[in-house]
Structure 1
Amino acid sequence: MASLRQTPTALSLKANLLSPSLCLPKNPFILKISVPRRSFTGVRMSATVAGSYATALADVAKSNNTLDSTSADIEKIEKIFADESVYDFFANPTIDAEKKRQVVDEISKSSALQPHTANFLNVLIDAKRLDAIKDIVKEFEMVYNSITNTELAVVSSVVNLEPDQLAQIAKQVQKLTGAKNVRIKTVIEPSLVAGFTVRYGNGGSKLVDMSVKKQLEEIAAEMDLGDIQLAV
């Protein structure tokens, strides 16, 4: 059975066979990592600990030459756990771990997750860390981007942009950053009225704002209407 073990080293991954009782596909791994275990308290996992788990998964993916497909798995997981009912189920410490593993098995099959990604979720269940999956997803994105020299650009718009528009945005971000690759993540944001915004850089620190909302705010500022709320 996949398990979390304390070891003197900071991080170590080994391929192994999983007990059939977990009903997962073949070729899982056992994760060994020196981090303290704790019961669910609702406190955000530290970036260091989340980063250790994310790095562990990335190491397995690199060893299997599945880094890109593992990144795709993580995007699927991010969308699944964005559903609060799903997140609350796995974060609930009163629900039996075996029931959580059964649901992970169903999710893995329906989402066609790779064996090592599915097993990683079971590692988090055993370690009582699955409530921190959102933090781990963010850290994995940063690890992946660092390994592949990829710049993440988050494009927010009122409606879905066309593929050619997203491709043009990716080219511009590539020119601005010099990154080898640019990965676009889209977000629907009705408050923008029209147009779009692009966030990139470390933690989304840089912003390109081409939204109508910004234009209206600038017009209001020029007309000294800063105290008037725009009806948008």
Structure 2
Amino acid sequence: MSQAAERYALALFEIAGKHDASVEVEQDLREVQKAFEQNPELLELLSSPKLEANEKKNIISNLFGQGNVYVLNTLQILSERKRLDEVSGIVDEYVRLDNAAKGIEDAIVYSVSPLTEEERANISSVFAKKIGKQSLRIENVIDPSLIGGLRLQIGNRIFDSSISSKLERLQRQLIG
């Protein structure tokens, strides 16, 4: 991630915090990031030297004008400064700053079937304490190869209580 992305994210984070809009800004940033990831030609179009600056502003306003004004303004500034390629890094850094301020950590939970809200809450409270956070924002990924149990990834840490991993350990013990 570039220093520019970090600076833009910090500025946006501070503005959103002052105006009590951090949740809305984060949601809109995730949508913007998704739009750029799913439509790479959009970034190509907005980066084209053939388009004039006011045409780029109009496209950005038409696409993202319904969102948060701070996100829209940031996109306009990035367009003017030819930095729209920094959007993904800005979103990642903004989410990191917001999570740190709220004591939240993102986690991916792999399970055989979808987690219930109660299961999500239990996993969040148990593992958040283990890593010194207030709570976890859980993304649930269905993985039938686990056979049963869970695999939890928080940052670069993995907690694995899946049946498939227990079977693999047992197999290694029996063979070794």
TM-score w.r.t. length of structure 1:
0.62
* Displacement after TM superposition at 1:187 (Å): 5.1
The one-letter code matched in structure 1 to 2:74 is F
Alignment partners' CA distance in 1, 2:79 and 2:167 = 48
* Displacement after TM superposition at 1:216 (Å): 4.1
Cα deviation code 1:6-65 (max 9, x no counterpart): xxxxxxxxxxxxxxxxxxxxxxxxxxxxxxxxxxxxxxx42x322111101101101211
Alignment partners' CA distance in 1, 2:76 and 2:92 = 19
Runs of 4+ in 1 over 6 A off after TM superposition: none
Aligned CA RMSD, in angstroms, stands at: 2.8
Q: Which residue matches 1:107?
A: 63
Q: Which residue matches 2:5?
A: 50
Gaps of 5+ in 1: 1-44, 226-232
The one-letter code matched in structure 2 to 1:68 is V
The one-letter code matched in structure 2 to 1:135 is G
Kindly indicate which of the two structures has a greater share of residues assigned to helix: 2
SS at match of 1:65: coil
Alignment partners' CA distance in 1, 2:140 and 2:35 = 15
Conserved? CA contact 2:104–2:137, under 8 Å: no
Q: Which residue matches 1:188?
A: 141
Alignment partners' CA distance in 1, 2:115 and 2:54 = 42
Gaps of 5+ in 2: none
Q: Aligned in 2, Cα 1:108/1:176: closer, same or farther, shift over 3 Å?
A: same
Q: Aligned in 2, Cα 1:102/1:165: closer, same or farther, shift over 3 Å?
A: farther
Identify which of structures 1 and 2 has the higher relative contact order when contacts are C-alpha pairs closer than 8 Å and 6+ apart.
2
Conserved? CA contact 1:153–1:184, under 8 Å: yes
SS at match of 1:82: helix
Q: Which residue matches 1:218?
A: 169
Q: Which residue matches 2:34?
A: 79
1:133 and 2:87 matched: yes
Q: Aligned in 2, Cα 1:122/1:221: closer, same or farther, shift over 3 Å?
A: farther
Identity over aligned residues, as a percent? 23
How many residues align? The count is 172
* Displacement after TM superposition at 1:157 (Å): 4.0
Alignment partners' CA distance in 2, 1:99 and 1:221 = 62
Higher mean alpha-carbon deviation, 73-82 vs 191-200, is at: 191-200
TM-score w.r.t. length of structure 2:
0.78
* Displacement after TM superposition at 1:144 (Å): 0.9
Conserved? CA contact 1:166–1:184, under 8 Å: no
